[in-house]
Amino acid sequence: MLATLAIHLRIPLCASLKDKRGRIKPLISRLRREFNVSVAEMDLHDKWDEAVIVCAMVGNDHAFLQSALQNVAKWVESNWTDGDVWDTKIEMV
């Protein structure tokens, strides 16, 4: 089973795409390290002040995957200080 978590981020006061990358890259690295998930920026590549990152996990226990990705979402909402979380969505495939 594959589980994904899409996180729509708002990044205020970005002056360029380079600035946006500088704020998103540390978050992506931290999520990989802390939660052992695959992470990539998946949408809104051309917008300076918004990003969509997606975390993915593979496993055979639906409840575990749901719980693990909820923990990732909660961590981002409470610990990421470079912007705001507009929306999160977990999907199971």
Asked if 44 contacts 53 with a C-beta cutoff of 8 angstroms, the reply is: no
Q: Which two tokens stand for residue 21?
A: 């990358």
Bridge partners of residue 57, in order along the sequence:
3
Q: What is the pLDDT of residue 66?
A: 93
Q: Is the pLDDT of residue 45 over 90?
A: no
pTM of the model: 0.85
Per-residue pLDDT of 50-90, as tens digits, reads 889 999 999 998 999 999 999 999 999 888 777 788 889 99
Decide if pLDDT at 49 tops 80.
yes
Mean pLDDT of the chain: 89
Give the domains, in start order, of the chain with CATH numbers: 2-92 (3.30.70.1120)
